[in-house]
Amino acid sequence: MKKIFLSLLLLFVVTSCGQEKTPDLGNREITKVISEMTEVMIHDVTNPPLAARFFTYACLAGYEVVSQNDKSCRSMHGVLNDYPEIEKPQAASGFSTHLSAVLAMLKTAQKIQPSGKRLETLEKQILDSCRTVGFSDDVIENSTHYALEISKQILKYAKADKYNRISNYPRYTPSGKPGTWYPTPPGYFAPVEPYFKTVRPFTLDSASQFKPAPPTPYSTDKKSAFYQLLEQNYKEDGTKLPDNHRQIAAFWDCNPFALENNGHMMVGLKKISPGAHWLGITGIACAKASKSFAETMKIYTAVAIGLTDGFICCWDEKYRSDRVRPETAIRKLIDQSWKPFLQTPPFPEYLSGHSTISSVSEVILTHYFGDNFAYTDTVEERYGLKARSFRSFREAAIEAGISRFYGGIHFMDAIDNGRAQGLKVGEWVVKKLN
């Protein structure tokens, strides 16, 4: 893990208990937790829906601390499905709200992520920096205790969402019917999260609440609507793609399962999930708008909730329609040698997940920052991709969607209807949280 340079705001503020003054943390520490969680997910090759789930519970832990000590944030009790009344530790005193919130995020992520112990390095760096700028040992100890107590309650809530039951379900096997999904090269991975629809959503009434129109029916007839979709993708030949299309496709790839042939073996490429990319955008926007610690925590939590509910909706449809990927259909019906520019992710094609969750994020971020919030997306720079600038979150979300067509991994109806579903989920989440 790269060395992290922590920047602390040296503004003296009264701690939550009102008993002593200590330096408090800046909102950049929230972003650093999200960033390091992302690195752990890359290490673990965490799939996109599960990654969103991890982010959401970590954010809820931090948000709960803030909501108990800042009147601008209300508790999620009565807002999220089955969300309990999170009890504030009875002996809570002499703590820093901000430090407690950041530690609650870390404690939750350490437990919920498979390789969460890797986050202990970040925790140590944060605490060392706190001591350097004037936090007393008592404040650090009290803040740590507070964080642990909140984290335990959030983890109990997480355990009840039914995700842990998925491993008991029958192994998903491709049906083999014409027009249905089948594993694609080079990894031929098994389908990802076929039962994610069974996870308790945070705001939705059910996984099928925003069920989309069915996909264009599969057909081998060259005059059919499906064949027209197929020919659209075929013309976007991965070997002849225009440079601007290549750049867009690569920027929004976000495929944790991508592989590269390195001589005698296949090696995984270091790529983040779509949700991690949008949470990275969230951090950029909060920094540019100089949002307060409480506002930043609220916005991160809202986006994370939207991501998870968006994936639940999308994955519900993926395994209902079970549609074939362009790569498989084109090779069978048109050209055996055709390859997409991007590697095909290991799950059914319809809907486009990136289109769905990008539109969800667009709606939520636009709610907090406005319609024409311009920003430069530097999230992928650390992975070797140049920054891209956008005039709005809408512009970015639309580009994220079309990137899947340029990359050759989605049909246009999956992109268009994924966007439509995402807009509905985003509007629902905003309505529920505000």
Pairing type for strands 21-23 and 265-268 reads unpaired
pLDDT at residue number 18 = 37
| Other C-beta atoms lying within 10 Å of the C-beta of residue 152 | 16
For 201-433, CATH number? 1.10.606.20
pLDDT at residue number 262 = 64
* Residue 96 in this model has a pLDDT that exceeds 60: yes
Q: Is 106 helix (H, G, I), strand (E, B) or coil?
A: helix
Question: What tens digit of pLDDT does each residue of 299-353 get?
Answer: 999 999 999 999 999 999 999 999 999 999 999 999 999 999 999 999 999 999 9
pLDDT at residue number 20 = 44
Q: What angle do CA 257, 415, 232 make, to 5 degrees?
A: 95
- What DSSP character marks residue 165? G
Report yes or no: 409 and 394 within 8 Å, Cβ to Cβ: no
Average pLDDT rounded to a whole number, residues 14-39: 74
Question: E strands of 164-220, at which residues?
Answer: none
Question: What tens digit of pLDDT does each residue of 170-221 get?
Answer: 999 999 999 999 999 998 999 999 999 999 999 999 999 999 999 999 999 9
* Residue 13 in this model has a pLDDT that exceeds 60: no
Closest C-alpha among 122, 73, 128, 62 to residue 97: 62
- Cα–Cα distance measured from residue 136 to residue 381, given in angstroms and rounded to the nearest whole number: 37
- Residue spans of the domains in the chain: they are 27-164, 201-433
pLDDT at residue number 216 = 98
- Cα–Cα distance measured from residue 307 to residue 426, given in angstroms and rounded to the nearest whole number: 9
Report yes or no: 430 and 364 within 8 Å, Cβ to Cβ: yes
Backbone angles phi, psi at 169, to 5 degrees: -80, 160
